[in-house]
Chains A and B, each alone.
Chain A
Amino acid sequence: MAATNKKMSKTRSMKTLTLTMLALPAILVIFVFSYIPMAGIFIAFKNVNYEQGIFRSPWSGFENFNYFFSSSDAWMVVRNTLGYNTVFIVVGTLLSIIFALLLNEVISRKFLKTYQTLFFFPYFFSWIIVAYMAYSFIGPYGIVTGWLEDLGFTSFDFYTETWIWPILLTFINVWKGLGYTSIIFYAGILGISQDYFEAAAIDGASKFQTIIKITLPLLMPLITIMTLLSIGKIFYSDFGLFFFVPREVGQLYPVTQVIDTYVYRMLRQSGDIGMSSAVGLFQSMMGFVVVLLSNYMVKRVNEENKLF
């Protein structure tokens, strides 16, 4: 008896060992590229200078943070980041749910396939290509610029008009991501058991009632998780959208500069290591707090839908 127990526990630990070995390469990669940089957040509290190196540079306490928050840029980049993301989440989620519901109404497989294929196109292009596409519409020789000229707006330059960029960036962002997210929601709807819909049909529910009473509530866990994930990233932006699409026009910075592009420019153009890592740390910390908060809120409303 004791011998078999011993043998059992031996095979069990062998099993754990082999499985751990299978996971090991990924564990290592994640350790090196995600966890070691986390240890590097102390740089934010240093006054880095190149002669002494990072470790030997003097500590500076919260100086880097103070410097950032007392600058006028701080309010601008935080406002832009949060503002754009909020609009993206609201508009993007609403539209993708609507499109998923519309797709669900399409019965013909041929049409369905065609729509899905078309909708996925924008997802396939890198931001650099998208920037070129945008340029082909709103550049000096662009199609939309041409239309505006025909309407009498001569020499309208999209790349200097700040007011139009919040609309443009929202439009482009939604355009690029809508196919992808609506298909995720569509797949979610497909996952709902047909029994519910059949029962509703027998009870004589209208299409609209079915959507409100069955489809949406049953889709809610997926919607919550997708929204939570985007809220978790509310302090992060799609770098490519804000960096390439407005083509680095300095005049547009007040409406296109977000935390990510700010940190990048700070690091690569001004070489300010201390301050850019302070802003980066602020970003990570805030993002973390936001995820915990929204998860807590969801948990209070509905235990089922929580992320963790």
Chain B
Amino acid sequence: MTLRKKLPKMLIHLVLILFGIACIIPLISIISVSLSDETTILQEGYSFFPQGFNLSAYAYVLYKPAQLLNALKVSLLVSAIGTIISVLISAGISYVLSREDYKYKNSLSFYVFFTMLFNGGLVPTYILISNYLHLKNTIWVLILPYLAIPWFILILRTFMQKIPHTIIESCMIDGASELRIFIQMILPLAKPGLATVGLFTILQYWNDWWLSLMYIDKESLVPLQYMLYRMINNIEFLTRTASIMPGMNTVPAETARMAMAILAAGPMLLVFPFFQKYFVKGLTVGAVKG
């Protein structure tokens, strides 16, 4: 009897544990490669445990840290500025959309959510940004396009709709202005929602390579992810030259690649615990309606 009851439970845990392992194993494998010795890798291949443990890949990648530090600076700056502005302006419009008594509520929601269904496409956007707004190779091109993302506005609006309208009314009776209600009542009450969307936004900015792939050629404005992408090509270029010139065979291509990936993914892992705290609550988009 007990076994019959326990067996399904154990099976459920088994499936969940296996998938859980599958979720972190790739991270472990790139960490272990980055800590391995290049020649051992070339002979024996990658494995889940570091082979011939050493830090030479990191030494190689960090040898001339100027470029890396600069990319880190760009990523941090863009994520910080972008997230702050984005959360503020998304909160503004979400609040307005959550107000049943706002006169243009329906037309405004159509205006926002229509962009989830139809867009002008890559070419007109590219031409607008580069030829008319002249944002190419500026830090702003990495920030502005993501300031108002409809999906995040939807999450935030749903969250704010749950704040009882009576609170707003009682504030009005007390004579508070709309702006004051928004800043002093709504923003503090919507904190979990703001935190969730804020963390999604940080992730969006930090992990973005699209905007830099499209609009950045200038060395000083290359963010981490894009640098990582270019790094693959660079190391391949270096190894190719190394094989032509015999004296230069010291490029730890395989391990250095992974060391770079760890350096680019790392900072987000620090944000992870904060994220963890809020996401289930914030994601309860339950009965989302467009």
- Residues of A at under 8 Å CB distance from B? 15-16, 18-20, 22-27, 29-30, 32-41, 43-44, 54, 99, 102-103, 105-106, 111, 113-122, 124-130, 132-137, 139, 141-143, 145-146, 149, 175, 178-179, 183-184, 186-188, 190-191, 207, 221-222, 225, 229, 232, 239-240, 244, 247, 260, 263-264, 267, 273, 276-277, 280-281, 283-284, 287-288, 291, 307-308
Contact = CB atoms under 8 A, between A and B. Distances in A.
B3 to A, nearest CB: 17
A99 B177 CA distance: 47
Nearest to B227: A128
A235 to B, nearest CB: 11
Interface of B: 8-9, 12-13, 15-16, 19-24, 26-27, 29-30, 33, 41-42, 44-48, 88-90, 92-93, 95-97, 99, 101-104, 108, 111-113, 115-128, 131, 133, 144-145, 147-148, 150, 153, 177-179, 182, 203, 206-210, 225, 228-229, 232, 254, 257-258, 261, 264-265, 268-269, 272, 275-276, 279-280, 283-290
A78 B209 CA distance: 25
A242 B286 CA distance: 31
A133 B118 contact: no
Majority-rule SS of A interface residues: helix
A276 B125 CA distance: 12
Given A22-B93, A37-B128, A124-B203, A132 B23 contact: no
Contact of B286 (A38, A39, A187, A247): A187
A20 B96 contact: yes
A36 B128 contact: yes
Contacts of A277: 121-124
B12 to A, nearest CB: 5
B276 A281 contact: no
Given A22-B182, A116-B276, A128-B229, A287 B124 contact: no
A34 B45 CA distance: 47
B182 to A, nearest CB: 6
B285 A26 contact: no
A130 B116 CA distance: 26
B258 to A, nearest CB: 6
